[in-house]
Structure 1
Amino acid sequence: MRRLAIGFIPLTDAATLIACAERGFATAEGLEIDLHREVSWANIRDRLNVGLLDGAHMLAPQAIASSLGLGHVRVPLVAAFALNLNGGAITVAPELHAAMGATGEDLATGEGTARALGAVVRQRAAAGQEQLTFSSVYPFSTHTYALRHLMEAGGIDPDRDVRLVVVPPSYTVENLRSGLIHGFCVGSPWNSVAVEAGVGRIALLGTELFARAPEKVLGVHARFANAEPDVLRRLIRALEAAARWSEAPENRGDLVRLLAEPRFLGVRADIIERTLTGRPDVGPGGTARTDPDFLVLHRGGATRPDPRHALWIYAQMVRAGQVGYAADAVQEAQAVYRPDLYDAALGLAARPAAAEGDPVGTRFGEAFDAGDSDSVVAYLARLGRR
């Protein structure tokens, strides 16, 4: 029995990994998983980089940033399994939500929400008030890029007109309660926890910005992938079985109870259940917004790593000014995603990656077209970034 140490952050999208360790899927592949609950994504990165973890529940952009040496030492990582698509949301303080509503914009739409936020930011600047502060969970995260996309759609310069800071997921609610931040983008269940506590309103579900946003992957060191390919194959097979089990409606009650345990999420079961079924409360009095794709664990090929997602992520890094464009870095970013390892582990015939269309399904604002002859360059040119 091969024993693996795998880190996770207490988020609903750790469901597949937790189920894999706790419901016999790892054991069926001759593996024993010791789950390590971590406080922050920086902890996850550091412990994986130095070999204290064999693998980790990891932000998809974080795996690419590590492999490119952005924000820290350069450590090559491999993403051979996607743990989920979507699952995040943008939450704001009730006072900010009220101010946005007072602009007359339609807050039921993404475009209206963007315009309303832009109007409030400009009103505050004209009145000499302090800038609004928003948090994401890590600089290299879909959450950062979602916030920036929303702000730019509302005419806000994220680097000049507001303050963007980093707050670990489980600390976001208390930071909002204390007034240290005015809003945040984070994975579930923390948006719903803020709503339940009366300190936040969900302004937009992540799926109202991007239909299929890459969120978390299983990140492993390239050294591990090369030294123990059979172990990695067994882990992929165990995770695939766990993902299928986790998304099956007949297993939902068991999964909810498991995730609600204090050693995992430690959050009320009903909040987790609404997340898994795509019915998160967005405001007081049980005001809900429904999207069955709010969090996708398995269906629609969600678990197969899509190199087009890596391409989109790299484009967001350049768009955000986190790195300058380099043609070789485009190839390096895509190489982090390994559908070939996924296919081999599951005995699937190799297939070429889809080459056209927007891999994340951008709802509003400038869309990314993976079918462009040079996708990243063309996208940045349309945004006026090159």
Structure 2
Amino acid sequence: MTRFAPNRRSFLKSAASVAATAAAARLALPGGAWASTPTPEVAGATLGYIALTDSAPLIIALEKGFYEKHGLTGMKIEKQASWGATRDNMALGSAGGGIDGGHILRPKVHLYSTGSVMQNNQPLPMYNLLSLNEQCQGISVTQAYADSGVGLDAGPLKEIWAARRAAEQEIPVAMTFPGGTHDLWMRYWLAAAGIDPTKDCDLIVVPPPQMVANMKVGNMEAFCVGEPWNEQLVNQAIGFTACTTGELWLNHPEKVLGMRADWVDANPNATRAILMAMMEAQMWCEDDANKDEMAQILSRRQWYNVPVADIAARIKGEINYGNGRQENRTDLAMRFWGENGSTSFPWKSLDSWFITENKRWGYLPGDLDTAALIDRTNRSDLWIEAAAALGLDVSDKGDSRGIETFFDGVSFDPADTEAYLAAHSIKAMA
């Protein structure tokens, strides 16, 4: 049995100590300035992002001056063509013309660090520093299935695809990176309906900004991707959204700020400054009063280069599914900060789910030590320090968010991952 049991008492004791130190320093200075915030070792870092709405905190921190506020005058936020390009540029590092970190799929921290997706399987040590957002991705299908009844239940596709298979036809279904979040959401949705994603369809990799164009020309039956691409699909009447990923797992984690471990270790002061700037950007993004301005900023040519209408609605939970269904679901809106930073905090138990799912589908070995991998990649301690320096309450932050429950009734207990795996009959692990 793989166990992931937090030592909450010692963690909270440490967190409380950091918070107390921060509070004392703020009281000692006019205006609540942070007395011992050290000068960053470098002027900034080079961070990558994909044109997905959940990269907003990286961009807003630049646009609103939060990096400069914390002493980072040389930050570079650079668009990446695909998640594969992000991986390759992360391996190079900024010294080699690449990036030091950025907006990445949460499992990539583990996939890079183990070397499982790297060239020659060479491990690239990474840190998960901060969770950028929760939910607001989508699973969309071609307009040809408009009358099939497919929705949160993927079941109607089972018989249709079985007939297609019998006729020896390919059934291309797109995700954005093997073992990444979109791959896992698509696999979970299909498997919950008794469709084996490794046998009953053909999973392909397509970069997020190319999803809509590829479905338009008939290159795929369905895809899973983040916004604004599901919304754009609907706005162009090319397909419809079967479900949002928040319907699969309410308040699920999505992207993270991941950085090369060697950069963080060499630049602890700059890392803290980046975290503080990013946290302030997340709080700004979370504020409903800022959502329309955020959509305007992200839509610009230098960032996403898409119409504002493709961004603005779903971040608020205003969902036009495109098949005659339209709902105002504030519970499915994109979360950037959450209550007291609960969205931003990189809970270790959530890392455990992604590692377990990657084991389920054969991307990571079944005997991999989950807890050991999390301990060397998750730097929630640095999040605690940065939050305390901002004067935030960190007393409720530990290792585990608790037991998670999915739309099909399956629960994930991070202290008993084998029970979770046993609950699923469809899997690719040995």
Say whether residues 1:275 and 2:275 are aligned partners: no
Kept in 2: contact 1:318–1:325 (CA 8 A): yes
Distance 1:364 1:294 in 2: 21
**Residues 284 and 366 from structure 1, CA distance in 2 versus in 1: closer, same or farther, beyond 3 angstroms?**
closer
Distance 1:276 1:158 in 2: 29
* Aligned partner (choices 29, 32, 35) of residue 77 of structure 2: 35
Offset, 1:76? 0.8
Q: What residue is the counterpart of 1:65 in the other structure?
A: 111
Amino acid at match of 1:64: H
Kept in 2: contact 1:125–1:131 (CA 8 A): yes
Q: What residue is the counterpart of 1:96 in the other structure?
A: 145
Q: What residue is the counterpart of 1:335 in the other structure?
A: 376
Query: RMSD of the TM alignment (CA)?
Result: 1.9
Distance 2:321 2:375 in 1: 35
Distance 2:395 2:265 in 1: 21
Q: What residue is the counterpart of 1:290 in the other structure?
A: 328
Offset, 1:350? 8.2
Amino acid at match of 2:134: L
**Runs of 5+ consecutive residues of structure 2 not aligned to the other structure:** 1-41, 389-393
Mapping of residues 106-255 of structure 1, within 5 Å: 107=150, 110=152, 113-126=153-166, 128=167, 130-255=169-294
* Aligned partner (choices 129, 135, 139) of residue 86 of structure 1: 135
Structure ID, larger Rg: 2
**Residues 77 and 246 from structure 1, CA distance in 2 versus in 1: closer, same or farther, beyond 3 angstroms?**
same
Distance 2:80 2:215 in 1: 21
Kept in 1: contact 2:67–2:274 (CA 8 A): yes
* Aligned partner (choices 85, 88, 95) of residue 46 of structure 1: 88
Kept in 2: contact 1:314–1:330 (CA 8 A): no
Say whether residues 1:7 and 2:51 are aligned partners: no
Say whether residues 1:377 and 2:391 are aligned partners: no
* Aligned partner (choices 328, 335, 348) of residue 307 of structure 1: 348
Mapping of residues 318-333 of structure 1, within 5 Å: 318-333=359-374
Kept in 1: contact 2:347–2:401 (CA 8 A): no
- Summarize deviations over 1:83-129 as a string: whole Å, max 9, x none: 1111210000010233x22xxxxx55x2xx22112232223334x15
Q: What residue is the counterpart of 1:23 in the other structure?
A: 64
Say whether residues 1:363 and 2:421 are aligned partners: no
Kept in 1: contact 2:181–2:254 (CA 8 A): yes
Distance 1:250 1:354 in 2: 31
**Residues 249 and 383 from structure 1, CA distance in 2 versus in 1: closer, same or farther, beyond 3 angstroms?**
closer
Distance 1:179 1:66 in 2: 32
Offset, 1:355? 6.2
After superposing the two structures, state which structure 1 stretch, 230-239 or 327-336, moved more: 327-336
- Normalising by structure 2, we get a TM-score of 0.82
**Residues 294 and 158 from structure 1, CA distance in 2 versus in 1: closer, same or farther, beyond 3 angstroms?**
same
Give runs of ≥4 in structure 1 deviating > 4 Å.
none
* Aligned partner (choices 56, 64, 74) of residue 102 of structure 2: 56
- Normalising by structure 1, we get a TM-score of 0.91
**Residues 331 and 136 from structure 1, CA distance in 2 versus in 1: closer, same or farther, beyond 3 angstroms?**
same
The SS at the match of 2:214 is helix
Amino acid at match of 2:158: G
Offset, 1:328? 2.3
